[in-house]
């Protein structure tokens, strides 16, 4: 009998921090919210070890009540476990809540070629889970799901086949293979904390699409969003298809039951209502209701809650980003000193669509995954004048753009300006934002929403951020020679 993840529920402990900032608009309300939440967090974290040792307690969380006051939630398997729980902790009200036990999901369904996301998949030794998304490192294409879906709870080997559909849905090895296991984050069952239950399978764009089936939400955005309580989200998964819900809490600590044993996870996302997911939905990508911005990777739950890994942690672990299906090419080249011809190592190269890279010891750089079309490439290096050059990117081709930089002849000192750019309403990271200084220097935010402008003359500088579909924003920074100033932007949609 093959090993698999059943739809039954195991014990779990949750620790959740509830953040409502997206729905509090005034500075005074935000300050009150932050103070109350911090008080709840402090009480919750202090008493969590003792609470989790009580019979029937499966977790704790920090939250706010309807009046904005701090509360500590205590999650239990059943109402009978309420007995003996404290009414308050360090002056913070305790709110018991029945969640039931939580189990890593796994189940199955039909066969597709090319394969959409959100459908049945899995290692040959498990039943099945869900393909969460197509991701890329700019060169290769991967299917993203859970460790327990593709790596069989650490028991698989790199190079093992991944099936679509999963074995429970009739998938056979090797006839239904869509790729091979490329990397996975091991799950620790020895008491150490885990951050994710995630794995990637190397495949190809001809075998794996970037969109869901027609009854799903379509294509996920390559720009992620941060989970905050009350954020409306949705997912498309193998068992329950398209469902909608809300983030209930964040920063959860979760004890999840697997076939192998119990593993503790930290920094997780809690989503309600219970019918948001079911067995077989493990690996589903959770996105915002508006904009399809990825929020989390679903991996566990009960009949009352769903648990997900924060998507940014997962993408950063594998050094990939969500592939939104945009046709791309690459920009490559060399950066040298215009006078001596010497290769410049460490020069910052970026394109107006958000991709960025640094030159190597030979002055070479590669910008992969650049959407096709007319582009602008910017290069900056300490002690040199920043340059820009147009580039025409074509599908699956390398566009060569070389730079010969002039030495900067500034009588004054210089510094750097850096920061990040997000959507003011959703918190989504914004790539491809043009950030300019009043000295004429500029950079574009990368897929992580960050930018950096070097060699900016010291003094009071005006920094401006602009992107199509958003209101342009400016701010003043004071820059001293040799220092780095930070200018973060939260752009309002038009």
**CA-CA distances (angstroms) from residue 243 to 132, 215, 216?**
14, 11, 9
Q: 């399809």: which residue's tokens?
A: 292
More confidently predicted of 325 and 467: 467
- Give pLDDT tens digits for 235-288: 999 999 999 999 999 898 888 999 999 999 999 999 999 889 998 999 999 999
pTM: 0.56
CA atoms within 13 A on the CB side of 413: 12
Least confident of 123-127, 323-327, 399-403: 323-327
Express each pLDDT in 362-390 by its tens digit. 999 999 878 888 899 999 998 888 999 99
Cα 191 to chain center, whole Å? 25
Tokens of 129: 């889970």
pLDDT of residue 28: 67
pLDDT in tens, 282-341: 999 999 999 999 999 999 999 899 999 999 999 999 999 999 877 788 999 999 999 899
> Domains in the chain and their CATH numbers?
326-409 (2.60.40.1120), 413-494 (2.60.40.1120)
pLDDT at 22 over 50: no
Q: How many CB atoms lie within 10 A of CB 400?
A: 11
Taking 70 as the threshold, does the pLDDT of residue 27 lie above it? Answer: no
- Residue 433 has a pLDDT of 93
% of the chain surpassing 70 pLDDT: 91
Give 81's DSSP letter. G
Which among 421, 420, 419, 433 is positioned nearest to 467, based on CA atoms? 433
Phi and psi at residue 33, to the nearest 5°: -60, -50
Report pLDDT digits (tens) over 62-85. 888 888 889 998 888 888 888 889
Averaged pLDDT score across all residues of the chain: 87
Mean pLDDT of 115-132: 94
* Exposed/middle/buried for residue 191 (C-beta within 10 Å: 0-12, 13-18, 19+): exposed
pLDDT-derived band at 17, boundaries 50, 70, 90: very low
């Amino acid at each position: 009998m093959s090993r698999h993840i059943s739809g039954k529920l195991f014990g779990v402990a949750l620790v959740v921090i509830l953040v409502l900032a997206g729905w509090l608009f005034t500075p005074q309300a935000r300050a009150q919210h932050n103070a109350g939440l911090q008080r709840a967090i402090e009480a919750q974290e202090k008493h969590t070890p003792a609470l989790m040792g009580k019979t029937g307690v499966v977790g704790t969380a920090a939250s706010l009540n309807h009046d904005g006051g701090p509360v500590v939630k205590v999650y239990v398997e059943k109402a009978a476990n309420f007995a003996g729980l404290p009414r308050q902790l360090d002056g913070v009200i305790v709110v018991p809540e029945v969640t039931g036990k939580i189990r890593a999901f796994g189940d199955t369904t039909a066969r597709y070629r090319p394969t959409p996301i959100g459908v049945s998949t899995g290692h040959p030794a498990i039943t099945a889970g869900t393909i969460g998304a197509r991701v890329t490192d700019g060169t290769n294409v991967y299917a993203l799901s859970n460790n327990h879906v593709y790596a069989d709870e650490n028991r698989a080997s790199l190079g093992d086949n991944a099936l679509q559909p999963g074995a429970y849905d009739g998938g056979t090895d090797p006839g239904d293979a869509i790729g091979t296991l490329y990397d996975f984050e091991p799950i620790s069952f020895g008491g150490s904390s885990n951050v994710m239950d995630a794995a990637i399978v190397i495949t190809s764009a001809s075998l794996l699409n970037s969109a869901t089936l027609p009854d799903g939400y379509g294509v996920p955005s390559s720009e992620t969003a941060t989970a905050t309580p009350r954020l409306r989200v949705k997912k498309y998964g193998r068992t329950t298809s398209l469902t909608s819900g809300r983030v209930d809490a964040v920063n959860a600590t979760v004890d999840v039951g697997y076939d192998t044993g119990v593993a503790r996870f930290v920094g997780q996302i809690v989503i309600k209502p219970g019918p948001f997911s079911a067995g077989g939905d493990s690996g589903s990508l959770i996105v915002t209701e508006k904009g399809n911005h990825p929020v989390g990777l679903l991996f566990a739950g009960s009949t009352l809650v769903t648990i997900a890994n924060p998507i940014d942690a997962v993408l950063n672990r594998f050094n990939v980003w969500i592939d939104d299906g945009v046709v791309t090419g690459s920009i490559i080249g060399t950066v040298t000193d215009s006078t001596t011809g010497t290769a410049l190592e460490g020069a910052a190269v970026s394109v107006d669509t958000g991709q960025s890279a640094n030159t190597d010891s030979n002055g070479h750089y590669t910008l992969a995954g650049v959407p096709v079309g007319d582009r602008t490439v910017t290069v900056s290096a300490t002690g040199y004048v920043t340059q820009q050059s147009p580039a025409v990117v074509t599908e699956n081709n390398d566009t060569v753009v070389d730079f010969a930089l002039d030495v900067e002849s500034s009588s004054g000192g210089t510094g750097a300006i850096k920061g990040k750019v997000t959507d003011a309403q959703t918190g989504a990271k914004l790539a491809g934002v043009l950030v300019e200084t009043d000295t004429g220097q500029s950079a574009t935010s990368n897929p992580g929403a960050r930018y950096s402008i070097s060699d900016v003359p010291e003094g009071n500088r005006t920094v401006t951020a602009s992107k199509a579909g958003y209101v342009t924003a400016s701010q003043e920074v004071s820059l001293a020679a040799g220092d780095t100033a930070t200018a973060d932007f939260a752009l309002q949609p038009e």
